[in-house]
């Protein structure tokens, strides 16, 4: 069984299987709360809907007693954030279980501890949607809002989901100064968002993703800063260390507050 309302009050919107639902609905969302509710009711991608609900139904043995969220996972953080953190998609037993982005898995453990060290969160852990976590000056969101099989959304699913990201960025655009892209997928997802949300033609050739790569666009647009994804694959192998993550976030803070 999947949940309907997260413990922190984000409502599940009216479910719809219309593939045009994000493109039709997102532009009309006047604030983040409305957007979060609309996102959570989206069923536009049949493959992802089937997967997220299957995972929520079968569950992992260690979470067998829990009720999974099993829906799209909205963004997290204040509407006047200056820093955006853009991820790929929720994890099957992390965000798809808890209903909060990056919450309940090892990737999130690494990310939230780093945000806390950087002064961007009020506590170093994020374990459930009602654990009291507050982000400071930071909004976290994902390019795709449903957990995909093997963490790999298709290009079509990415494009179908893009209107949610676009609207979220539009709503925080007045304060947004920098976006930290976690991994190449997020980095690549930023360019169409830059175009649709800011009306800026992305550079050609597109700047390539690299850890520490920084791109600055025209005045009035946020900078883009690359960071290896906080996946276990990167953190367990030492490709991404805590100190590397600390350096990226310190740089993001410096740019956002300059
Ligand atoms: S991935 Fe995005 S567009 Fe597709 S069902 Fe989930 S929220 Fe809707």
Residues 6+ apart with CB under 8 A from 80: 137, 172, 174, 175
Q: What CA–CA distances, in Å, run from 14 to 17, 39, 180?
A: 10, 9, 31
- Sheet of strand 178-182: strand arrangement: 138-142, 83-87, 178-182, 223-227, 214-215
Question: Which atom of ligand 1 is closest in space to residue 160's alpha carbon?
Answer: 3
On the 0-12 / 13-18 / 19+ scale of CB atoms within 10 A, 169 is: buried
For residue 24, is it left (φ>0), alpha (ψ between -120 and 50) or beta? alpha
Ligand 1 close to Cβ of residue 75 (< 6 A) = no
Ligand 1 close to Cβ of residue 72 (< 6 A) = yes
Nearest protein Cα to ligand 1, atom 3: 161
Quote the CA–CA distance of 11 and 237 in Å, as a whole number.
38
Residue given tokens 């993550």 in the structure block: 245
Determine contact, residues 129/103, Cβ cutoff 8 Å: yes
pLDDT in tens, the chain (258 residues): 344 565 556 656 555 678 899 999 999 999 999 999 999 999 999 999 999 999 999 888 888 898 999 999 999 999 999 999 999 999 999 999 999 999 999 999 999 999 999 999 999 999 999 999 999 999 999 999 999 999 999 999 999 999 999 999 999 999 999 999 999 999 999 999 999 999 999 999 999 999 999 999 999 999 999 999 999 999 999 999 999 999 999 999 999 999
Ligand 1 close to Cβ of residue 89 (< 6 A) = no
Q: Which of 14, 17, 22 for mutating ligand 1's site (highest number of atoms within 8 Å of CB)? A: 22
Q: How far is the CA of 84 from the centre of ligand 1 (A)?
A: 20
Ligand 1 close to Cβ of residue 162 (< 6 A) = no
Q: How far is the CA of 241 from the centre of ligand 1 (A)?
A: 31
Quote the CA–CA distance of 22 and 163 in Å, as a whole number.
6
Nearest protein Cα to ligand 1, atom 6: 146
Q: Please measure the distance between the N-terminal and C-terminal CA atoms of the chain and give it in whole angstroms.
A: 47
């Amino acid at each position: 069984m999947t949940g309907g309302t997260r413990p922190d009050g984000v409502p599940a919107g009216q479910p719809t299987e219309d593939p045009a639902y994000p493109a039709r609905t997102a532009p009309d969302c006047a604030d983040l709360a409305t957007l979060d509710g609309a996102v959570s009711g989206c069923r536009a991608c049949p493959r992802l809907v089937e997967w997220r609900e299957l995972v929520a139904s079968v569950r992992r043995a260690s979470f067998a007693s829990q009720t999974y969220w099993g829906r799209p996972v909205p963004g997290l953080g204040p509407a006047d954030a200056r820093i955006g953190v853009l991820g790929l998609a929720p994890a099957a037993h992390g965000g798809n279980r808890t209903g909060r982005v990056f919450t309940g898995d090892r990737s999130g453990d690494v990310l939230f501890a780093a945000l806390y060290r950087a002064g961007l969160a009020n506590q170093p852990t994020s374990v459930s949607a009602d654990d009291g976590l507050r982000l400071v000056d930071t909004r976290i969101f994902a390019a795709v809002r449903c957990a995909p099989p093997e963490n790999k959304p298709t290009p079509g699913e990415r494009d179908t989901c893009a209107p949610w990201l676009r609207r979220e960025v539009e709503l925080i655009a007045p304060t947004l100064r920098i976006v930290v892209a976690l991994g190449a997928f997020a980095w690549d997802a930023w360019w169409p968002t830059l175009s649709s949300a800011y009306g800026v033609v992305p550079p050609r050739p597109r700047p390539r993703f690299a850890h520490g790569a920084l791109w600055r666009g025209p005045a009035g647009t946020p900078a883009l800063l690359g960071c290896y994804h906080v996946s276990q694959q990167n953190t367990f192998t030492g490709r991404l260390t805590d100190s590397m993550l600390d350096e990226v976030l310190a740089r993001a803070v410096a740019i956002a507050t300059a």
